[in-house]
A = this chain, B = another copy of it.
Amino acid sequence: MPTLYLLPVTMSDASPRHVLPAYNLEVASRLRHFIVENVRTARRFLKRCDPGCDIDSITFYELNNHIPADAIPSYLAPMERGEDMGVMSEAGCPAVADPGAQVVGLAQRKGYKVVPLVGPSSILLSLMASGFNGQGFAFNGYLPIETADRDKAIRNLEATSRRTGLTQIFIETPYRNDRLLERLLHILQPSTMLCIGRDITSPEGERIESRPVSVWRKNPPELGKVPVIFLIHCY
């Protein structure tokens, strides 16, 4: 029975040994077929994990949002011939917030074995470090872009956290980080806890800080364009 391995990759400027188990590199080095979000970054990642790897013997199948849904089944053709495959995202864990989930869903329908490997996830790492409720949480992806919709989404997340106790997690495209933070500090209640996780896993740049909104307001950070994840929790 062929296996579909889900292989996390590094994020930020972290080295593979910083964020990936040795076992992952063993698995990666024996696979010859990878479904990837971006071929160039996938090649670079494999070379970094194993500078001696024979990259030309590897076949890459690029899967991103531009690929039509009816082309997905062809991606698993090597598995139909009995070969193991790997799925890699651009950064972090595949199939969590990227198109990889579609091929995983297909592999599940076909009854193939699916094996996820351990790796960095800014969702999980920021949740651990926030000190917020980890017994219950929700990841909501991106908030709406339009201001009125986004403001409403922020109010809804705060209300949901107050009602359910679930920590609410969301992200933003880096160039909109500062605008989102400004709205968060404007809209959220002073006592609501806000955790800002910056450049997760970066040896130098990582900062994960939880403060009440009232404290953030006195000294709002400039986030700039690093990857940021936001968590809110009401007690």
Please give the residue numbers on chain A whose beta carbons come within 8 Å of chain B beta carbons, in ascending order: 6, 17-23, 93-98, 101-102, 104-109, 114-116, 118-121, 123-141, 166, 195, 201, 206, 208-211
Give the shortest distance, in Å, between A5 (CB) and chain B (any CB): 10
- Contacts A137-B138, A137-B139, A209-B108 given; indicate if A118 touches B118 (C-beta within 8 A): yes
Contact for A133 among B19, B20, B101, B115, CB less than 8 A: B101
Q: A23–B118 Cα gap in the complex (Å)?
A: 14
Q: A108–B96 Cα gap in the complex (Å)?
A: 27
Task: Tell whether, in the assembled complex, residue A131 and residue B118 are in contact, meaning their CB atoms are under 8 Å apart.
Answer: no
Task: Tell whether, in the assembled complex, residue A21 and residue B20 are in contact, meaning their CB atoms are under 8 Å apart.
Answer: yes
Known: A108-B211, A115-B208, A116-B129. 16 other contacts (CB 8 A): A17-B21, A19-B23, A19-B118, A21-B21, A94-B128, A95-B134, A96-B134, A104-B128, A105-B131, A115-B129, A116-B124, A116-B125, A136-B139, A136-B140, A136-B141, A138-B139
Residues of B within 8 A of A126 (CB): 116
Q: A49–B134 Cα gap in the complex (Å)?
A: 26
Task: Tell whether, in the assembled complex, residue B20 and residue A128 are in contact, meaning their CB atoms are under 8 Å apart.
Answer: no
Q: A128–B107 Cα gap in the complex (Å)?
A: 12
- Contacts A138-B138, A210-B108 given; indicate if A128 touches B19 (C-beta within 8 A): no
Q: A114–B132 Cα gap in the complex (Å)?
A: 13
Residues of B within 8 A of A118 (CB): 19-20, 118-120, 125, 201
Residues of B within 8 A of A209 (CB): 108
Q: A195–B182 Cα gap in the complex (Å)?
A: 39
- Contacts A21-B18, A22-B22, A118-B118 given; indicate if A128 touches B208 (C-beta within 8 A): no
Task: Tell whether, in the assembled complex, residue A124 and residue B93 are in contact, meaning their CB atoms are under 8 Å apart.
Answer: yes
- Contacts A19-B21, A23-B17, A23-B19 given; indicate if A114 touches B131 (C-beta within 8 A): yes
Task: Tell whether, in the assembled complex, residue B116 and residue A208 are in contact, meaning their CB atoms are under 8 Å apart.
Answer: yes
Q: A124–B118 Cα gap in the complex (Å)?
A: 9
Residues of B within 8 A of A136 (CB): 138-141
Task: Tell whether, in the assembled complex, residue A6 and residue B129 are in contact, meaning their CB atoms are under 8 Å apart.
Answer: yes
Interface centre among A98, A109, A118, A123 (most CB of B within 10 A): A118
Residues of B within 8 A of A129 (CB): 6, 95, 104, 114-116
Residues of B within 8 A of A102 (CB): 131
